[in-house]
Structure 1
Amino acid sequence: MSGALPYWRLSNFYLFYFALLGGVAPFLALYFDHLGFSPARIGELVAIPMLMRCLAPNLWGWLGDRTGQRLLIVRLGSLLTALSFCLIFLRQDYWWLVLVMALHSFFWHAVLPQFEAITLGHLGPQSARYSRIRLWGSVGFILTVVGLGWLFGRFSLDLYPAMLLLIMLGIILASLLVPPAPRSAGRGVEGSSGFWLQLWRPGVPAFFLCVALMQLSHGPYYTFLTLHLEALGYSRGLIGLMWALGVVAEILLFMVMTRVLALFSLKQLLLTSFILAAIRWLLLGALADNLAWLLLAQLLHAATFGCFHVAAIHFVQRSFHDRQQGQGQALYATLAGVGGALGALYAGYSWSSLGPLWTFVLASLAAASAALILALRLDARV
């Protein structure tokens, strides 16, 4: 990166932010299982942060666009995330954990959409380089997954809340080092006259529906993959490596994503992501006991998260005016939260009644449905 772009300060924030996700996605359900909760209760508790993702981003996105104080929102949200999470050290009964999950995630999910807008503001016309900054989030995810996988393999899961709080303090520090994005002269979207009119342009509603379906399909993966693999006989250390492998594949894709975006349309990239997601969930449901198939399924994370996320960020950026980027990114986060919450809930209830196989089959059907919707509704020129 060249010029005045604060590459390392932006990258450092992504590293810590997604390090926290690396502590949550593979281990939160494991921690709740360690506390003795049933699969249904685990699904409910994991769904709460995703439900907050449905509420928080739109409120903070509107506030960020209205005031222009995106960086202040990021810093305040990071601080309040850590402070509210500290409540977990007082009690660990179900209803107290409901409060902790709701409160800290309300502030946590305020942060990323605003930071995405800050990053795109710094990049300006070089937005295709976004993936080179975002890949450091994947590095943070890997470091946490591998490190905590080793730690919990040797020591008790009672250490889990303290480890998450340590990462949250890193997010606060990283947010203090990031400079505000330069003010834009204002990139318009042809024919735009307000956020809601832009939202109802052809193909945009279908895209946001499919965002929700993609995250719904990830419900069993993020909620029960660790427990699923443990039940199949894999060690916690190896499970941590499987999580890390998926993110390594994602990083490798991020490194070449600038060239990929030049070769393929956003519609082609999104369709490919959904089709491969449908295949991935079938592999995890039916063949995860075979290490070779499990390796292939984890390598497909490059498509189901990496390719999908970068293509989606670019779609949102192209669909909304500069002064509405905060609301656009927030709506993306919100619909992802709706899908993620529904995915965690259905996975929690179906895991016990239908079993892992049919739970992942339902996830595959959700991804395949999204592929069909996009194929029919999204303009080929996108």
Structure 2
Amino acid sequence: MHLMLWVVMVLTVASVLQSRPHPGVTGERLVISLALAGCVLSLTFAALARDTGKSEAATAALPLVLGVSGNVLAFLQPASMSVVSVSTAVAMLFARLRPRLAAVLAAPLTVAIAAITVYVSPSSNAFQVAVACVLLCVVLGAVYVFARQARLRHDHTELLLAELEDSREAEARAAAVAERTRIARELHDILAQSLSALSVQLEGARKLAERDQVDPSLHQLIVRSGELTREGLADARRAVAALRGDDVPMVDQLTTLVGRCRRDLALPITLSVIGQPRTLAPDANLAFYRGAQEALTNAARYAAGSPTAVVLRYTPQATVLTISDQGRAAGADDDGAGTNVPVTPVEAWTGGGNGLRGMRERMERVGGVTHAGPIGQGWTVEMEIPA
């Protein structure tokens, strides 16, 4: 439509300038000049307009000005191609308005151009020319009615496709939630209950050991096994909560984890929280927790006794968790213990067990990234999830 309007404007100007009487500033010529200006301005504004949110009155104004100006030119310049302007006005009405309203507005323009053609045409076939003008207007109007209906059907089809896509995504999300709930239920019924039973058995073994006054080291091993079982049970429940979508604050989880590391792995750890804490998705919480668990286990294994810093930083762009140590303590032997560093059973501690690769994969699944590498004599792991 917009390209056609520019073509019609060029044809209209060329036809009016070549026909007689020519445009001027007095009398009949002034009227021709004003009618030509009406055609040019209405065609220009219509060709440049891209706003489809205008009212029907504003939308109909330009075609009506174009049609009236074209009829005036047809009356004053019988030799000009004014019927092109009138038929274009009819096409614009049907392209931009409701068919019934467009027909009401286009009918007077079409009847006027036919009557003017019959009146001013000197030839004997004036009636045939008028019929041709009417047919041109009718055909263009019908073409744009069908084009408008096709465009509306296309828009409706795109809307239905978008709704179908949304419905499929919602169905996929519902299926994922149902599957996660099933897995969480299975974990709870199998792993959590098994660990609970094991904890009860270990508690019974501890009481028997106290009654029979067994070796203190064996008694301590039984006590620690019970503690590890309870902590494993807590981790299993945390995983189940993440699968079910329950929210557990990240700061609370890290505080508990750091306390366990200080006690079990003999790591001098500091925990810092920078920024305003925000609520994270359960999957993101679990990814951060498992990553921190793995990084702290590695620090205890490869840099026993080294001061370790855990920093949780909230920024407007992301949530960043950094675990860094200062390297193996001076004088440490191959087992990770020195003269001033107690030997700790790292292998028995419930670490993440994923390694750096598993840590990266877990973070990538929640849209995050992991950076790990040496800094100075130590090692730093940084996990980041966009806000």
Q: As a proportion of its length, which structure holds more strand?
A: 2
Q: Same fold (TM over 0.5)?
A: no
Q: As a proportion of its length, which structure holds more helix?
A: 1
Instruction: State the TM bucket, normalised to the shorter chain.
Output: under 0.3
Bigger Rg over Cα = 2
- Give the TM-score normalised by the residue count of structure 2: 0.21
- Give the TM-score normalised by the residue count of structure 1: 0.21
